Amino acid sequence: MIIPVFHCCSLETYLTNPEIEWPSQCPFCGKNLHKHDSYRRRVESTTVCARISIQRLECVPCNQVFSCLFEFLNPYKLLAANVSDEYVRCFVEDQQTLRETAWSNADELLPETSLSRVQRAVAEAAEASGQVLLELREQIAPDVATIACEAVCAPQSGKPHALCVLTEIFVVLRRHFLLDTEKMLVAYRRLALGFRFPTPHSLKHALF
Ligand SMILES: [Zn+2]
């Protein structure tokens, strides 16, 4: 099981400030967590590739071990989540093409490598859009059901269903966070984490 850690939202901030306050209480029983072991994994951003240590914590009464995952990590994916989220935002909100999105982000990769990263990020976001929409509806905007339905039912847009849903997610978030792109992306990230929060309450707490 995974506990998200909101210590820092990018690989770069983690590398400059690796002092971490690990979660101290079990999300289920509230008892103290103890250090169990750790493992290392790779992660890439636009500027750096690093191996970082993932701490695992144990709750003895629940007989449960939790991996502490920073929010800039996507489970089983190499690319940092804040990078893929920004690709998705550029493609969806700024209505850039995949190529424009790939080449407007300063990195030192070959153009084809950037392009394939953007393609993958957008495809994965589109695939997850239904789940994100559900979370959005539960946690932020109960009226979003109607909004999304309108978008999906607008065949003249010519967009695939999942991209319409993704577009509406960003419309709702932008409205909710009053045009603050940074806050909006943080909320999107927490809604779109590649794993479930241990409890619904912990997602609500993370969003507000
Ligand atoms: Zn416990």
Q: Tell me: the pLDDT tens digits for 176-208?
A: 888 788 888 888 988 887 666 666 666 666 666
**Cα dihedral sign, 14-16-18-20:** negative
pTM, two decimals, is 0.81
The DSSP string of 119-131 is HHHHHHHHHHHHH
Ligand 1 centroid to Cα of residue 202, in Å, is 15
CA of 72 to the centre of ligand 1 (A): 25
Rg over CA atoms, the chain: 18
CA of 138 to the centre of ligand 1 (A): 26
Distance 149 CA to ligand 1 centre (A): 40
Angle between helix 111-139 and 181-192 (nearest 10): 80
Distance between Cα 60 and ligand 1 center (Å): 7
Tokens found for residue 208 = 């507000």
Task: Note the pLDDT tens digit of each residue in 76-122.
Answer: 889 999 889 999 998 988 888 888 888 876 666 677 778 888 999 99
Cα separation, 70 vs 76, in Å, equals: 13
